[in-house]
Amino acid sequence: MDTKARILVIDDEEVVRLSYMRTLASEHCNVQVVTNGYDAIALMETQAFDVVLLDMSMPGMDGMSVLKVIKQRWPECEVVIITGYPGVESAKQAVSLGAFDYLSKPAGPDDVINAANGAMTHKRWALRCEQSAPVATVH
């Protein structure tokens, strides 16, 4: 059984993608990167991801639109927003749409690792709770 965390980084800036990939790539993580929301959705249709690190400002499909699609189609996937344009309203909107966390750029390696670890821990606990929930029976 593969217990490695599957992480997808969605950011239009190459330096950011490479930085997050280097920070997270290890024997505990499989990290893939894409440059936009359209490519992210297409990739997620072919394979499952545990955690998505999502930039808010991208050409084409913006981060909020990507977040909506991910949470509608893959609700078990945890999403961490990382934005260069943080704001209280966008943070509220992201959380209301199901984002696990919201970070502002530049996010240092420790911030990225902590957010990804927190999202994975949350996902594992949620799955554990679902598996141990009593099954309802019809009488």
Q: What is the mean pLDDT of residues 1-29?
A: 86
Q: What pTM does this model have?
A: 0.87
Least confident of 19-23, 33-37, 59-63, 130-134: 130-134
Cis peptide bond upstream of 109, omega within 30: no
Instruction: Tell me the H-state helices in the chain.
Output: 14-24, 37-46, 63-73, 88-96, 109-132
* pLDDT at residue number 66: 97
Under 8 Å between Cβ of 65 and 74 = no
Amino acid identity of 79? V
**pLDDT surpassing 70 at residue 131:** no
Sheet holding 101-104, edge to edge: 29-34, 5-10, 51-54, 78-83, 101-104
Given the candidates 3.40.50.620, 3.30.70.20, 3.40.50.2300, 2.102.10.10, the CATH classification of the domain at 5-132 is 3.40.50.2300
**pLDDT surpassing 90 at residue 69:** yes
For the chain, domain boundaries:
5-132
**pLDDT surpassing 80 at residue 1:** no
**pLDDT surpassing 50 at residue 135:** no
Q: Quick: pLDDT tens for 104-130.
A: 998 989 999 999 999 988 887 765 655
Q: Quick: pLDDT tens for 70-91.
A: 999 999 999 999 999 999 999 9
